[in-house]
Amino acid sequence: MPPVSRLFDFIVIGGGSGGLACARRAASYGAKVALIEGSGRLGGTCVNVGCVPKKVMFNGASIMEAIEDAKHYGISVGSRSFDWGALKTARDAYVKRLNGIYETNVAKDNVEYVDGMASFVSSTEVKVNDAVLKANHILIATGGHPVIPKVEGAEHGIDSDGFFELEKQPKRVAVVGSGYIGIEIAGIFKALGSDVTVFTRTPHILRHHDSIIGETMMGEMERMGIRFEHNSSVRGITKHDGAEFPLELRWAISGSDSQLSERYDCVLWAVGRAPNTAPLNLAAVPGIQLNKTGHIVADEYQNTHVPGVYSLGDVFGKSELTPVAIAAGRRLADRLFGGPQFADSKLDYVNIPTVIFGHPTAGTAGLTEEQAREAHGSENIKVYKTRFTNMYNALTPYKPPTAMKLVVAGPEEKVVGLHIIGRGCDEILQGFGVAIKMGATKRDFDNCVAIHPTSAEEIVTMR
């Protein structure tokens, strides 16, 4: 029996943040939309194994830190015990509620949710289960997945998805990787009571961020008791069944032939992510191009090289952030179905603010100092910096730093980069992101009256 053929105006492959936003916006204009998702739950990485459950764990870790600080404010707290399983159960229930909310909203917006894996038949057709869906417009928004390194015994470790599957808290953790995912998870583990070692291939962490963030973050994580193995190259894992710490991680230090090893009960790989393209049968769409990292090439309007086929979000690979995928998806739907007033609708990928939920939190918008000097010339760049202790720690014996850097360009001192790290920086950045997007100058910042006493006031009083 041949597959059933069904016709739509728009097919969206991937029920993550970008796909959901694009599908719902398109349907709001009256388009007949099919949303295909093969995992069995809507929300994608962010809702299920990313931003949302990560922030729940971050909140739990932050509460543990606040309990420790309480005694310095004269507050007695009876117990610091922590139940990993209880937090996981509550967190998973919250995520499941969100999955249900997404399904309800999709139905309410007249988007047809198709549960199954999609594969292309042609540039206008995809096969799902026993049906072939047809549309003149097809969006690929299939997201990405964690990369597992090709070393011996790698299967004994877990990735960031596996972090959310842990039923009990490990005692001794190795985090391999020092990008924002590894740094966030390392901070959560440590604040909740695990012993943590971070393995990084270089002397630095958070290498794609401004140095003020990486250097300050590493210093504070070391103060917390997190150990770093710099310039390390992991060689493999040997599992010793029945041991308290069954995972023997082996590594070498750059420039040395000797191999080191240590035992852990959890090894977490945080060495990068790759796009989800394998099940799509892209060979059926001649002209689709992948770049050297396997992401689907598209232009600033999310058009691939094949007319009517689009790509955005993590599978597109530019600014792989949930709000970016949502914004790009909505603008694409506006352009395709919103009428002539949206003919040029597209996302501007410049000056996108982003936050690291580390311990401490950090935020960045615009160019790093190094990028700014390369783009504008060192002679045209001026940098304003400040370091201080947040007033929250006025009564605590330890004084974690807050550090801020403002990068400005040209005689008008246009703000081209803002990099902040310390308590509350995750909430501070959004408003300043608006100002930078509007083209604010240092003088504009200076002309804003400070709010006292806050950390944010330092951004408008730097000299």
- The residues carrying an active-site annotation are 452
> CA separation (Å) from 416 to 11, 214, 324, 364, 405?
38, 19, 19, 11, 11
Q: What is the dihedral of CA 85, 90, 93, 97, to 10 degrees?
A: -160
Give the span between the Cα atoms of 313 and 329, in whole angstroms: 8
* 183: its two tokens: 């740094």
145 contacts 14 by C-beta, under 8 angstroms: no
Q: How many angstroms separate the Cα of 55 from the Cα of each of 95, 184, 281, 356?
A: 12, 10, 35, 11
Question: Tokens for 49?
Answer: 């194994």
Q: Which of 363, 447, 449 is nearest to 406 (CA)?
A: 363
Q: Do 304 and 137 form a contact (C-beta atoms < 8 A)?
A: no
Kindly report the backbone phi and psi dihedral angles of residue 173, in degrees, each rounded to the nearest multiple of 5, phi listed first. -120, 135
* Contacts of range 396-403, beta carbons closer than 8 Å, 24 or more positions apart: 396/69, 396/72, 397/72, 398/223, 400/220, 400/223, 400/360, 401/216, 401/219, 401/220, 402/360, 402/455, 402/458, 403/212, 403/213, 403/216
Token pair of 442 as six digits: 């240092």
Task: Determine the Cα–Cα distance for residues 16 and 13; give it in Å rounded to an integer.
Answer: 9
Residue with tokens 């004084």: 399
